[in-house]
Amino acid sequence: EGEDPLAQMDAQVKKRRTLDAIKRILLRESLNQPLMVMFEDLHWIDEQTQEFLNLLADSIANAKVLLLVNYRPEEYSHQWGSKTYYTQLRLDPLGRESADEMLSALVGDSPAFASLKRMIIDRTEGNPLFMEEIVRALLEDGALVRNGAMHLTKPIAELKVPPTVQGVLASRIDRLHADAKDLLQTLSVIGREFPMTLVRAVVPKPSEDLERMLNDLQLGEFIYEQPAVGDTEYIFKHALTQEVAYNSVLQEGRKLMNEQIGAAIERLYADRLEDHIASLARHYSRSGNPAKAVEYSVRACQQSSERASFTETVGHFETGLARLQELPDDAHRAELELDLRNAAQFALWTIKGYGSAENETLALRTLELSRRPGVSWLNSWMALSGLYVTALMRSRHRQACELATQMLAIAENSSNADYTGESINCLAHAQMFDGSDLELAGESYERAIALFETTTPSSAGPRWRRDLMHSQAYAFSAWNDCIRGFSDRAVERTDQALALARASDSKAVAEAIHNYAVEVFSIRRDVERTRQHAVATIDLSTEIDNPFRRARGEFWLSWADSFALDREECLARMQRALADLRATGALTSSSLWLSLIAQIQCSLGQYNNASASIDEALSVVEETGERVFESEVFRTKGELLLAISTSDQAEAERAFCTAIGIARSQKARLWELRATTSLARLLRDTGRRDEARAMLAQIYNWFTEGFDTADLKDAKALLEELNN
C-alpha cells in the first residue's frame, strides 16, 4: 500500500497491460464514433507489440476503426494482404523539391551547397533518414563544419559516402572512440530499451565515466534518455541504429555478452526474478549456455501460458527445443524436454489446432518421454491429456473415453483432487459427445463439480488450469442439461460458470466459458444471448490467437445474424467458419453445424445444396461416432424433404420417427420435443390430428421448466391448435 504499482512491474508487463487496455478502449469507443489509430516505424516493435498489432488488425473488421501503420517493406512484413478491409498505400521518397527544402534546413540554403545537395539527393533517392545521417556523418568526419555558417572543407569528389543508410550508420559507429563503440555495442545487445541499473551492472566503468559516455552517445543522437519510474532508461534513436551496432559485434562476442547480461539480470533482480523471465529467456537463448536457455524457456512458457500469451509461449517452446539439441542426450535432457513440452502444452493445443496432426505427434513424443523410469505421475497424466484432446476434437469419442479413464486412474491413484476432477470432466465430455447416454455424462459432471467444490486447490499445477476445469464442469454440464430438457438449470449452471471465469481473471478461462455459453443459448434458440457470447468469444479468441474458438464464435454470430441480416451473406460466413474449424483439425460439432447450414440453405430455396449438407452431416456422424446431434440431423432432413416436395411425406415421417427414436434412447428430451413437434405438424397436415395431439402432449408434459424457450412455446401453440 502506498507504493506506485508500476514501480513493481517489469517493462513487458506494463506494456502488455497497456496494449490490452488500448484495444479494449478502441473497440469500445468505436461503437460510438469513428477512431483513427496510428503506428509508426513498425520494424522496431518487439514480439509482444507485434502480437498485439496482429490481434488488433484481426479484431477491427466490423469496428469503426481506421488502423494506419507505416513501415519499410524491406524491414517489416505482415500477413494482412488477404483481408478485405486492408489497403496498402505506397509512400514514395521525398521529391527533389521537398528533399532540397529539407537539406536547406540541415546545412543552409547557400548556392555553394547546390552540388552537395544534388549528390545527397541522388545518393539517398529522397529518403529523409538517409539524408539526415549523411549530413551528420559529414559533420563528424570534418567534411562539413559549422563556423557561424556551414561550409565544406573538401571537394565534392573527395567525399566518401556509403551507398546505404546502414553503411552511413556503420561508418559513424566506427568513428566513435573505442570505449564509446564498445558501450554502444553492449547496449545494442541489451535491447532497444535499457535501464541504467542494468547498464552499470554489465559495463565495468566508473559511474562518472559511464554517464559521460552515455551523454556523448545522446549528443551524437545514437540514443535518447526517456522517462521511467524509479530508474533512468535509454532507448536507441532508431531500430536501424541498434541493428547496425548489434551486427557489428562478432557472433561469439554477442553470445558472451548475452550470457553476461543474463547473469546480471539474475543478480540484480534475484528477489523478483519472475518479472524478468522473458528477458532472461531471450538473452540466454542467444548465449553459449544451452542449459540456461532451456531452463528459462521452460519458465517463460509457463509464465506466458498463464497470461494466455500463447503465441509467445510457442515461440519460447520452439527456441527451447532447438537449444535442447545442444545438450548431451541423457536423462537430464529428457527431463528438460518433458518439462518444456508440458509447459507449452496448452498453448500448442491453442495455436496449432486442438485436433491437428502436429499436436498428436507432440503428444505421442511427450507420452514416450513420460514412460521413462522415475518420471512423476503428473507427466504421464499430461501426456495422456494431450492425446485425449486430439481424440476429442477429431470426434474419436470412444478413444477419448478410454484415454480419460486412464487419466482418472492415474489421478485417483495419486490422490490429487484437481487432476481427478479434470479427468472426470474429460470423461464426461467424451460421454456427452458420444451421445449414447447423456444421463451418465450428467452424473460424471456432478462428480467433477462436487470434487472441485469440496477440495482445496492443489499445488501440482497452475491455478488458472483448475479454474478452467471447475468452470468448464458447470458449462458443459449446462450444455448436457439443456439437451436433456433442463433448460432453466442449464442457464443457472452457465451463469455459475461465467461467475467462476470472471473470478479467475484469466483470458483463457473467460474465452472457453463464453464459447460454451454460446452453445447453451443457441440450443435454447435465445438469439440475443447467443450473439452476446459469440462476440465475447471472438474478441477473446482473437486476443489469445485461438483459431478453433474464433471459428466457433464466428459461426454462431453468423447464425444469430441470420435472423435479422442478409441470410445469404450469413450463410457464406457460416460456411467459412466451418472451413476454418476444419483447418484446425477439429471435427467436433460439425454435424450440428452442417444441419444448421442446411436449414438456411433450405429457407433460401437452395434444396440441392441443403440435401448435400444433410448427407455430409450424416456421413460425419457415421464416420466419427459423434451422435449427440444425430437426432437434430434427422429432424432437419425431414423438414428439408417436406420443403422440397409434399410427396415425400412418408419419407419425411420416417426421418422424424428416426430422430425421435434416437433422442429417446439418449434421453435427449429437447431433441425429442423438436422432432415430435415437427412430426405432429406433418400428422396435422395429413388429417391425423388425434395422433399428433397425443404424442406431442406426452413429451410436452414431461417438461417441468424452460417454458419461456422457443421450443416449448412452439409446442404449446401447436397443442392448443390441435385441441381446438
Work out the pLDDT band at 43, boundaries 50, 70, 90: low
User: Between vectors from CA 15 to CA 13 and to CA 21, what angle results, nearest 5°?
Assistant: 105
Please compute the mean of the pLDDT values over residues 335-344 and round it to a whole number.
92
DSSP assignment string, 95-136: PHHHHHHHHHHHH---GGGHHHHHHHHHHHTT-HHHHHHHHH
Pairing state between β 223-226 and 233-236 = antiparallel
**Per-residue pLDDT at 6:** 43
Least confident of 360-364, 614-618, 707-711: 360-364
Can you tell me the mean pLDDT for 359-381?
89
3-class secondary structure, 584: coil
Out of 91-95, 152-156, 680-684, the most confident range is 680-684
pLDDT value, residue 103? 86
Which residue is it, cell 542494468? 198
| Residue type (1 letter), 342 | N
Cβ–Cβ under 8 Å, residues 486 and 520: no
In contact, 568 and 604? CB cutoff 8 Å: yes
**8 A C-beta contact, residue 249 and residue 189:** yes
Report the share of the chain in percent with pLDDT over 90: 56
Which pLDDT value is given to residue 7?
43
pLDDT score of 184 more than 90: yes
Q: Is the pLDDT of residue 1 over 50?
A: no
Instruction: pLDDT band for 365, please (50, 70, 90 cuts).
Output: very high
Mean pLDDT value across residues 523-533: 96
Residue type, 349: W
Average confidence (pLDDT) over 222-238: 82
Asked if the model's pLDDT at residue 3 lies above 70, the reply is no
Q: What is the pLDDT of residue 74?
A: 66
* Per-residue pLDDT at 2: 40
User: Mean pLDDT across the stretch 378-388?
Assistant: 91
SS3 of residue 613 by DSSP: helix
**Amino acid at residue number 242:** Q
How confident is the model over 122-174, as pLDDT tens digits? 878 787 888 888 888 888 878 888 877 777 888 887 777 778 878 888 888 99
What proportion of the chain, given as a percentage, has pLDDT over 70?
Answer: 92
How far is the CA of 716 from the CAs of 245, 631, 655, 696, in angstroms?
77, 21, 22, 9
CA torsion angle 187 191 196 198 (round to 10) = -90
Residue 230 pLDDT exceeds 80: no
pLDDT score for 636: 97
Q: Is the pLDDT of residue 17 over 80?
A: no
DSSP 43-108: GG--HHHHHHHHHHHHHTTTSSEEEEE---TTT---S-TT-TT------PPPPHHHHHHHHHHHH-
Q: Are 131 and 102 in contact (CB under 8 A)?
A: yes
Q: What is the mean pLDDT of residues 654-673?
A: 97
3-state SS record for 134-202 = HHHHHHHHCCEEEECEEEECCCHHHCCCCCCHHHHHHHHHHCCCHHHHHHHHHHHHHCCEEEHHHHHHH
pLDDT at 311: 86
Instruction: Compute the average pLDDT of residues 352-381.
Output: 89
- Tell me the average pLDDT across 632-652: 91
On average, the pLDDT of the chain sits at: 88
> Over the stretch 467-506, which tens digit does the pLDDT of each residue have?
999 999 999 999 999 999 999 999 999 999 999 999 988 8
Q: Residue 82: is its pLDDT beyond 90? A: no
pLDDT in tens, 554-579: 999 999 999 998 999 999 999 999 99
Q: How far apart are CA 46 and CA 54, in angstroms?
A: 12
Q: 9: pLDDT confidence band, cut at 50, 70 and 90?
A: very low
Residue 378: CB atoms within 10 Å: 18
- Bigger pLDDT: 504 or 41? 504
Strand 35-39 to 65-69 pairing = parallel
Q: Is the per-residue pLDDT at 634 higher than 60?
A: yes
| 3-state DSSP assignment of residue 468 | helix
What per-residue confidence (pLDDT) applies to 657? 97
Q: Which range has highest mean pLDDT (145-154, 251-260, 349-358)?
A: 251-260
C-alpha cell of 653?
Answer: 415421417
Sheet holding 223-226, edge to edge: 193-195, 233-236, 223-226
Average pLDDT over residues 590-604: 96
Q: Is the pLDDT of residue 590 over 90?
A: yes
Q: State the pLDDT at residue 514.
A: 96
Give tens-digit pLDDT for 387-413. Answer: 999 999 999 999 999 999 999 999 999
Buried b / exposed e over 297-320, threshold 16 CB at 10 Å, is bbbbbbbbbbbbbbbbbbbbbebb
Q: Which three cell numbers stand for residue 335?
A: 527431463
